[in-house]
Amino acid sequence: MSPTRDDIFELLRAVIDPELGSDIVTLGMAPDVVVSPPDSTGGVDVTVWVKLTIGGCPLRGQIKKDIETRIALHPDVRNVRIEWGEMTSDERSEVMSKARWSARENAADTEVPQSTRILAIASGKGGVGKSSVTVNLATALASQGLTVGVLDADIWGFSVPRLLGISDRLEAVPVEGSDKPKIVPNVLKVGSGQLKVVSTGFLVDEDTALMWRGLMLTKAVEQFLRDVAWGEMDYLLIDMPPGTGDVQMGLARMLPRTDLIIVTTPALAAQKVAARAADMAKRSFLRVAGVIENMSSFTCDHGESYPLFGVGGGQALADEIGVPLLGQIPLEPSVGAGGDAGVPVASNPDGGPAAVVFHAIAQRIIDEIAPPVNMAGCSARMLAAVAAAFDKV
Ligand SMILES: Nc1ncnc2c1ncn2[C@@H]1O[C@H](COP(=O)(O)OP(=O)(O)O)[C@@H](O)[C@H]1O
Ligand SMILES: [Mg+2]
């Protein structure tokens, strides 16, 4: 069905001004939307009015891209046009006070900072390498000096603790400004960066995990988002449980800016199963940022390639959902061995073909797919500080 003006505003709520830490609708930065009358196929053109705190805001490019990709999630949207405007100084102070208000209001919702890029690693079924991809990508990103959260959302099938070689219990500590203690993630240094890791595996033994089966999956994930003192993070990678839509829906509700990365094997049959994950994403209006093909050709010591699990599945899936294929990770014993040893193969950037691909994918995420939010932008906050300083003079 063609989207209404309200539907578009709803989608725009997923667009965050990273600097002001709230969505552009709440902030009043998107004062108007016009939806054209539907064409014969139900398609519409959408025009969005956006007012920036200052005209030359360097975050403009990012906000533009976010608006376009979010609105394009609606299947009936054909074109998106943005009319840019600049706030008056009165509007600017109003937006600042709204930002402060909303920061207080939303404080209880999640502990994930607004400036954190969220990537959920999903697939249609288990065993395709989601967890291996999650820990290796996280390691590759962190090795560039970034802080990367890893949330193991596979609540009762957790494997992140083993893959990263961590078994420390999580502790809850009292935090300032909250009446409830918060869980402190396990921290793992990676080069000049670090991982902040949370998993039910740090709360229960592998055997006791079975008892958690009765627990609502979504509730557990919500709790991790709400009750963990994540602190500053450039990225949060979420290792999704296999084949369930519940957690995706929960994420869409709590963190609508989540991007999905879908992992599939090269088998063309696997592609159909993986496409379901993409479908689900669409229904909950999450953006699919790309596809990763895992367990691609195995290359033996003699240089001969063996496509043990077929060929073409990753590209076919990427084409089907219209997103880039981010990389093909070869089937390589070192990936499994690294997991068993608790040292991801990507810990060593030259650790063989799979490690090289993990680092290349991480680079592509940083450069193009979901660049870390640059907080050094058009500081409305700075402007306010400067204005306040002048007021005093
Ligand atoms: N590229 C790869 N090469 C070799 N083994 C792999 C590769 N990716 C994953 N594996 C192995 O496949 C199994 C399933 O991977 P895992 O990451 O646990 O999948 P999922 O989280 O999707 O269930 C594990 O034993 C893992 O070591
Ligand atoms: Mg897994």
CA–centroid distance, residue 336 to ligand 1 (Å): 6
Name which residue sits closest to atom 8 of ligand 1, judged by CA.
129
For ligand 1, mutation pick of 130, 132, 244, 263 (most atoms within 8 Å of CB): 132
- Please name each of the domains of the chain with its CATH number: 5-109 (3.30.300.130), 117-369 (3.40.50.300)
Name which residue sits closest to atom 12 of ligand 1, judged by CA.
129
CB 48 within 8 Å of CB 30: yes
Give the closest ligand to the alpha carbon of residue 298.
Answer: 1
The alpha carbon dihedral of 369, 57, 21, 143 has a sign of positive
Three-class HEC string of the chain? CCCCHHHHHHHHCCCEECCCCEECCCCCCCCEEEECCCCCCCCEEEEEEEEECCCCCCCHHHHHHHHHHHHHCCCCEEEEEEEEEECCHHHHHHHHHHHHHHHHHHHHCCCCCCCCEEEEEECCCCCCCHHHHHHHHHHHHHCCCCEEEEEECCCCCCCHHHHHCCCCCCEEECCCCCCCCEEECEEEEECCEEEEEECHHHCCCCCHHHHHHHCCHHHHHHHHHHHECCCCCCEEEEECCCCCHHHHHHHHHHCCCCEEEEEECCCHHHHHHHHHHHHHHHHCCCEEEEEEEEEECEECCCCCEECCCCCCHHHHHHHHHCCCEEEEEECCHHHHHHHHHCCCHHHCCCCCHHHHHHHHHHHHHHHHHCCCCCCCCCCHHHHHHHHHHHHHC
Give the closest ligand to the alpha carbon of residue 128.
Answer: 1
CA–centroid distance, residue 308 to ligand 1 (Å): 14
pLDDT of 209: 55
Helix, strand, or coil here: 326? strand
> In whole angstroms, what is the distance from residue 139 CA to residue 149 CA?
10
CA–centroid distance, residue 116 to ligand 2 (Å): 23
Question: In which residue ranges of the chain is pLDDT below 70?
Answer: 102-109, 205-217, 243-244, 283, 300-301, 374-393
CA–centroid distance, residue 362 to ligand 1 (Å): 18
Name which residue sits closest to atom 23 of ligand 1, judged by CA.
127
pLDDT of 389: 56
pTM, 2 dp: 0.77
Q: Which atom of ligand 1 approaches the CA of 330 most closely?
A: 1
pLDDT of 208: 60
pLDDT of 270: 72
**Ligand 1: residues whose CB is within 6 Å?**
123, 126-132, 159, 294-295, 329, 331-332, 335-336, 339, 354
pLDDT of 254: 82
Name which residue sits closest to atom 27 of ligand 1, judged by CA.
336
pLDDT of 157: 84
